[in-house]
Amino acid sequence: QQPVQSPQAVILREGEDAVINCSSSKALYSVHWYRQKHGEAPVFLMILLKGGEQKGHEKISASFNEKKQQSSLYLTASQLSYSGTYFCGTRRGQNFVFGPGTRLSVLP
Amino acid sequence: DAGVIQSPRHEVTEMGQEVTLRCKPISGHDYLFWYRQTMMRGLELLIYFNNNVPIDDSGMPEDRFSAKMPNASFSTLKIQPSEPRDSAVYFCASSYRGGSSDTQYFGPGTRLTVL
């Protein structure tokens, strides 16, 4: 069963902030975040392994609430280069499942 | 490192033809994944291998699809016979699950069009 992401899509102006949420009805033991630009392959952003963990990559950061079985990705002062589809993913035993993705469009 | 290599990058074929997609994972990685991506279904895991052994092929749509990994540096995904609904971008990804991180590195994908 794949994680759920919200919103499905978001449109921003350059410099605005955005939050993308990822949740699961099953226990989350780790959360991965990937970004896929149009016409390209998904690229790894970060992994959160423990509840309460927060990480950052430039102006993109993420948090992981293990109890609530959810993770959030924060994009601060968005840049045009942030446009793309963001996927969360998680392990399911030996398997790995991605969420449906959130399409982010940053306009000048 | 060259990253994950996939070939061909684009494939156009007619319904009923056999299609073979190829993947070379990153050297030293012990997991290899095949994904299919469409607008309707998103990113779907088809099958994955651990140390060249297929672990879970429950995502393979039907018997027309088959995948092999004869050695640690090569894998194929075959569709025979192909159908228009197989049109999609097929990604191969590899990872190393030593330790706690299992970051997947994706190849550039093969865009398959079945007419």
Mean of the per-residue pLDDT values of chain A: 89
User: Is B73 in a helix, a strand, or coil?
Assistant: coil
Residue A36: closest CA among chain B residues belongs to which residue? B106
pLDDT of A68? 81
How close, in Å, is residue B92 to chain A by CA atoms? 10
Contact A41 B33 (CB under 8 A): no
Q: What is the DSSP letter of B25?
A: P
Of residues B43, B50, B109, nearest to A98 (C-beta): B43
pLDDT in tens, A21-72: 999 888 877 899 999 999 999 999 988 887 666 666 778 999 988 888 899 9
| Torsion on CA atoms A32, B93, A99, A71, rounded to nearest 10 | 0
- pLDDT (0 to 100) of residue A14: 96
Residue A8 has pLDDT above 90, yes or no: yes
Task: Considering only the beta carbons, identify the residue of B56, B101, B108 that sits closest to A41.
Answer: B108
CA distance B43 to B93: 12
By the CB < 8 Å criterion, does A42 face chain B? yes
3-state secondary structure (DSSP) of residue A82:
helix
Cα angle for residues B23, B29, A102 (degrees, 5° grid): 70
* Grouped pLDDT means (10 residues each) for chain B, 115 residues: 92 97 95 94 91 91 94 97 97 81 89 97
In this structure, chain B runs to a length of 115
Query: Percent of chain A having pLDDT more than 90?
Result: 63
